[in-house]
Each structure stands twice: as structure tokens, then as C-alpha cells.
Structure 1
Amino acid sequence: MSKSMWTLELPTAAAKAQAVGTKARKRHAMQIFEDIPKRGFGITATVSFLVMLAIWSILSYGQLVNPIFLPTPDKVLVSLIDQLSTSLYWHHIGISIFRVSSGFVLACILAIPIGLFAGTYRYAEAFVEPPMEFIRYMPAVAFIPLIMVWAGIGEWAKILLIFTGCFFQLVLMVAADTRLVSKDLVQASFTLGASRWQAIQTVIIPAVQPRLLNTLRLMLGWAWTYLLVAELVAANSGLGYAIMKAQRFLNTEQIFVGIIVIGLLGLISDRIFAFLNRRLYPWA
């Protein structure tokens, strides 16, 4: 074979190999349940936010939507900076964080033991889950009149509403997480001489913790969604109150600011839970 033929075939073979490698990488990236590099995940997530911002910009700057209903991103940014420069808005943020945290923690304190109990014993499951399944389909908003009768219109009313929105769901989710613990591990503990309480304490509770932390992470997101509803109950402070006050005067920029701040607070809390899960349970 002549030298000129080798010089023609080598680039062609390299190009084919490169094309096959590129095609394989693309096929690998689109495989079901396949992992992707962290860098690729971060870039893709950033692009998704940029796409949302681009759509918003096109609709607002192009005046395809009335500015009263959809302000431009720069006006919302200016309003955000103005709001965050005041101590009053930071007071709204602080009281909202307090309400969400209090309702969420109260739900965890009561729901986690009940969920573990219902997930461990079948009789407990039969006793606990049917009423929980029944109540969880009732909208939390429907409890507002009862909560106002029981707790008045103070802080407890808002905390109890967030608690009500989280508690019944959390019991069922914790019970489901508990039932996913391997029965072989429990039987092995009995073989080694453990009592029922020791099996719960040394096998079931440690085994359920990684899934439980993920469940709490999801539930905290739901707690933030109940914030606006909770702050409709005769509130004079909080992010929900600030949003409703802006709505009365058609101040759409401040409505967007409140929504964005709630989203950022929820995202920060979600990332904290994700970080704790990676640090505490790296094997999971």
C-alpha cells in the first residue's frame, strides 16, 4: 500500500473513531437512570434557569404581556435590591422563617415516632394509616376556620396551619420509609440475641435515616408552600403578608420579589438537607 493511501486512510479512521465516540457519549448521556458528570449536571441546570429568564425577557421586554401583569426582570431586580435594603423586609423574612421552621419541627417531633411505629408493626399500620390517609386529602386551607377557633389569630394559628399541612403526609411517608428496611437485617439481629426494642434501636432506626432525611427534605419544601396560606390568617408581617399587600396596589414587582425570595429560601434549605445527607450518609 502506498504512502499516499496511508495518509488518506489514517485521518478517515480517526474521524470515524471520534464520531463513534461522540455518538456513544450522547447515547450514554440519554440512557435511562444513567449518571452524568457533575459538571454536565451543573451546566444543564444553569441552562434551564437561563431559558426561563430568556422566556420572561422576551414576554416582558417585547411587551407581549401587559407590564402590570409581567414586569421586566430589571424592574424586579431593582425592587428586590430596594426591599432588601430595608429592615422591615428582613423582619418579614425572619418571621416567615420562624413560622415555617416551627410548624415543620413540630410536625417532625410528632410524626416521625408515629410513622416509625406504623411502619414497624402491622397492627399499628392498620390503626394509624387509614385515618391519616383520610385526613391527608383534606386541604389545609379548610382547617383555617377551626384553627382560628382553637388557637386564635396569633402566631400559633399560622404555625398550626403549616403543621397541619405537613403532619399527616409525613406520618405516611415515614411509615413507607420504615417498611423499606430489609427484613433480613432485623432477623439477623434476632439471631444475634437482640430484643425487639434493640432491633428497632440498632437496626431499623439507623437503616431508615438516609431515606428519612430525604423525606424531611421534601416535606420542608411543602412547608414553604403552605407559608402564604398561613400568613393569610390575620397576619401583619411575613413574606405572604408583603405579597398580599403588594397585590392590593397592583405592585407586581414586589409580588415577584416575594415569590423569588420564598423560592430562594426554600432552595437554600433544600441544599442544606442535601449537603447533610451527603455528609452523614455517603454510602446512600
Structure 2
Amino acid sequence: MHAEKGHGARQEAAAGPKAGGGPRAVAGALRKPTRRHRIQIFEDIPKRGFAVTAIVSFLVMLAFWSILSYGNMVSRVFLPTPDRVLHTFFDLLGTQAYWHHIGISVFRVSAGFALACLLAIPIGLIAGTFRFAEAFVEPPMEFIRYMPAVAFIPLIMVWAGIGEWAKILLIFIGCFFQLVLMVASDTRQVSKDLVQASFTLGASRWQAVQTVVIPAVQPRLMNTMRLMLGWAWTYLVVAELVAVNSGLGYAIMKAQRFLNTDQIFVGIIVIGLLGLFSDRIFAFLNRRFFPWV
């Protein structure tokens, strides 16, 4: 009998809150993991903690770079030290020629991206709203988007020559087909209940598109444009391979010829900073115009 009681007690202890203690014990048991483990799936963290973690991630990258370069694990000809890159960074930014490179690159990216948005957003909205348009538009877009933009360079040089339009057109091709598909996907996520409600209130088909679909898709559209602008910056160096004598891509290629790796690093960092700046502008506009998201 004593053995059976002991065995039963052990079973109750192993069963935990299910065996006794009532709802409070169950709730306490459910709360314990939350207290122990601060990192939860999809849980927010304080803004200060997020900022500190982001800074630490950059410091880790800088530390790894410093160990490789200062420790002579990699030749400084191929991996310059951080202080050398920083010195070159300020030297180049102190010249008018480098600011000209920055300005022309910003123009090319902005023009190619704006042209892609001007054409792709209406097409994507129509393809995402109407099934017939989806069947007509998306299959060729899906086919072309897998073609590398670099492969179009010979055709672009035949079509547009070697002037500014060639660079802008390459960035446009790199963004347009992807943007059409992403905008169509964003449009299909609009609640159909909202559209049906507008029909119930007497809206016509185009009125429903104008007053329901377009306003509802705008926050997602802003995020999509923000992502696509990052892709536009990645196509910059490729675009500036086409018979150029200016731009950040040209400066990087010129530095590569003479093995000036510190200038290559500076060009890459400047492109990253410009991309980050443009990304923050879109993030600010998204919060400013769509604070409810």
C-alpha cells in the first residue's frame, strides 16, 4: 500500500499542474517559460534594445575585419585596414570629382527606378485586381524576370547606344518585371470583403478600384517600392559597366585596375550609405502617411 501511495505521489508530481492546483497553477506554469526566456517568437523588443543590438552587429563586423587586416591574416593589398579606408573615404569626399561620381550615380538610379515605378505600378494593380489581366500579364513577367539584366547589355547598346539612356534602361529592366509581380501580389492581399461592401453601397467596378483597392494597397506598395529601390542600387555597378567615364561603378572599376582596394571599399561603402539613406526616407514616408500600419 505504501509503495502504491508513493508511486501515485510521484505520478502526481510528474503530472504537474494537471494533477492538482487548479487554474492558478496552470497559469503559473504557462507563465514560467515567458519569464525564463526573453527571446520570444514575433515578440517586440524595446527600441533602445533594438538600436543597441544593431550597433553591436556593426561592431562585430568591424572587429572581424580588423582582426583579419591588422593581424596580417590577409594581405593589406587585398584587405586594407579600417583606418586606411576611413582616411581614403574622407580624402575622396573632399574632392569635387568624387561628388560628381556620386551625383551622376544617384541620377541614374533615381531615373531608372522612377521609370520602372511609373510603368510597373499601374500594370501590377490591374493584374492583381482582374483575373483576366493576371492571366495575360504575369506568365510573360514570370518568364522574363529570370533573365539576368546583364544579358540585356548588348541589346541595350544596340537600342539606346552608350549614353545615359543605356544605364537608365538597364536599371529599369532590372526592376520593372519584379515590381509588376510584387505589386500584383500586394493588390491581391486587399480584403475582398471591403470590395463587396463598396458594391453593396452602390459603387461601380472602377469606383471600387479607386476608392477601396488603391487606398488599401498603398501601405504595402510603399514597402514594395522601398525593397525595389534597394535592388536598383545593386544594379548600379552593372549599369555603369557600359562605356562610362563617371559614376561610383566607374570609380570602383578604375580603382580595381590599379589594385587600389581602399578606394574599392570606399565606393562600396558610399553605395551602401546612399542605399541606407534612401531606405530610411521610404521608411519615414511610410510612417508619416500610413501611421495605422
**Residue equivalent to 1:8:** none
Q: Could you tell me which of 71, 77, 82 is aligned with 2:86?
A: 77
**Residue equivalent to 1:166:** 175
**Residue equivalent to 1:11:** none
Q: Could you tell me which of 205, 219, 223 is aligned with 1:210?
A: 219
Q: Could you tell me which of 182, 185, 194 is aligned with 1:185?
A: 194
Which structure 1 residue ranges, 4+ long, deviate > 6 Å from structure 2?
none
- Residue 145 of structure 2 aligns with an amino acid whose one-letter code is R
Kindly tell me: are residues 276 and 65 of structure 1, through their superposed partners in 2, closer, same or farther at Cα, counting changes over 3 Å?
A: same
Q: Alpha-carbon deviation of 1:27? A: 1.7
- Residue 189 of structure 1 aligns with an amino acid whose one-letter code is S
Structure possessing the higher radius of gyration over alpha carbons:
2
Structure 1 CA distance, aligned partners of 2:83 and 2:272? 18
**Residue equivalent to 1:140:** 149
Q: Alpha-carbon deviation of 1:101? A: 0.1
Q: Could you give the per-residue CA deviations for residues 52-95 of structure 1, whole angstroms, max 9, x where no partner exists?
A: 00000000000000111100000000000000000000000000
**Residue equivalent to 1:99:** 108
**Residue equivalent to 1:241:** 250
The answer as to 2:142 corresponding to 1:123 is no
Q: Could you give the per-residue CA deviations for residues 175-225 of structure 1, whole angstroms, max 9, x where no partner exists?
A: 000000000000000000001111000000000000000000000000000
* TM alignment of 1:268-279, pairs within 5 A: 268-279=277-288
Structure 2: which 5+ residue stretches go unaligned? Answer: 1-30
**Residue equivalent to 1:27:** 37
What root-mean-square deviation, in Å, do the aligned CA atoms of Structure 1 and Structure 2 show? 1.2
Kindly tell me: are residues 50 and 26 of structure 1, through their superposed partners in 2, closer, same or farther at Cα, counting changes over 3 Å?
A: farther
Structure 1 CA distance, aligned partners of 2:277 and 2:32? 36
- Residue 236 of structure 1 aligns with an amino acid whose one-letter code is N
**Residue equivalent to 1:46:** 55
Q: Alpha-carbon deviation of 1:105? A: 0.1
The answer as to 2:209 corresponding to 1:200 is yes
Structure 1 CA distance, aligned partners of 2:55 and 2:287? 22
Structure 1 CA distance, aligned partners of 2:148 and 2:161? 20
Structure 2 CA distance, aligned partners of 1:259 and 1:182? 42
The answer as to 2:292 corresponding to 1:283 is yes
Structure 2 CA distance, aligned partners of 1:151 and 1:24? 61
- Residue 27 of structure 1 aligns with an amino acid whose one-letter code is H
Structure 2 CA distance, aligned partners of 1:38 and 1:63? 38
- Residue 37 of structure 2 aligns with an amino acid whose one-letter code is R
Q: Say which SS state the counterpart of residue 67 (structure 1) adopts.
A: coil
**Residue equivalent to 2:166:** 157
Kindly tell me: are residues 26 and 50 of structure 1, through their superposed partners in 2, closer, same or farther at Cα, counting changes over 3 Å?
A: farther
Q: Alpha-carbon deviation of 1:22? A: 11
- Residue 159 of structure 2 aligns with an amino acid whose one-letter code is W
- Residue 202 of structure 1 aligns with an amino acid whose one-letter code is T
Structure 1 CA distance, aligned partners of 2:219 and 2:33? 37
**Residue equivalent to 1:60:** 69
- Residue 98 of structure 1 aligns with an amino acid whose one-letter code is F
Q: Alpha-carbon deviation of 1:123? A: 0.4
- Residue 78 of structure 1 aligns with an amino acid whose one-letter code is H
Q: Alpha-carbon deviation of 1:23? A: 7.7
**Residue equivalent to 2:274:** 265
Structure 1: which 5+ residue stretches go unaligned? Answer: 1-20
Equivalenced residue count is: 263
Q: Say which SS state the counterpart of residue 219 (structure 1) adopts.
A: helix
Q: Alpha-carbon deviation of 1:44? A: 0.3
- Residue 98 of structure 2 aligns with an amino acid whose one-letter code is Y
Kindly tell me: are residues 154 and 78 of structure 1, through their superposed partners in 2, closer, same or farther at Cα, counting changes over 3 Å?
A: same
**Identity of paired residues, percent?**
82
Q: Alpha-carbon deviation of 1:279? A: 1.0
**Residue equivalent to 1:111:** 120
- TM-score w.r.t. the length of structure 2 is 0.88
- Residue 220 of structure 1 aligns with an amino acid whose one-letter code is L
Kindly tell me: are residues 50 and 159 of structure 1, through their superposed partners in 2, closer, same or farther at Cα, counting changes over 3 Å?
A: same
- Residue 72 of structure 2 aligns with an amino acid whose one-letter code is Q
The answer as to 2:71 corresponding to 1:87 is no
Q: Alpha-carbon deviation of 1:282? A: 1.0
Kindly tell me: are residues 61 and 43 of structure 1, through their superposed partners in 2, closer, same or farther at Cα, counting changes over 3 Å?
A: same
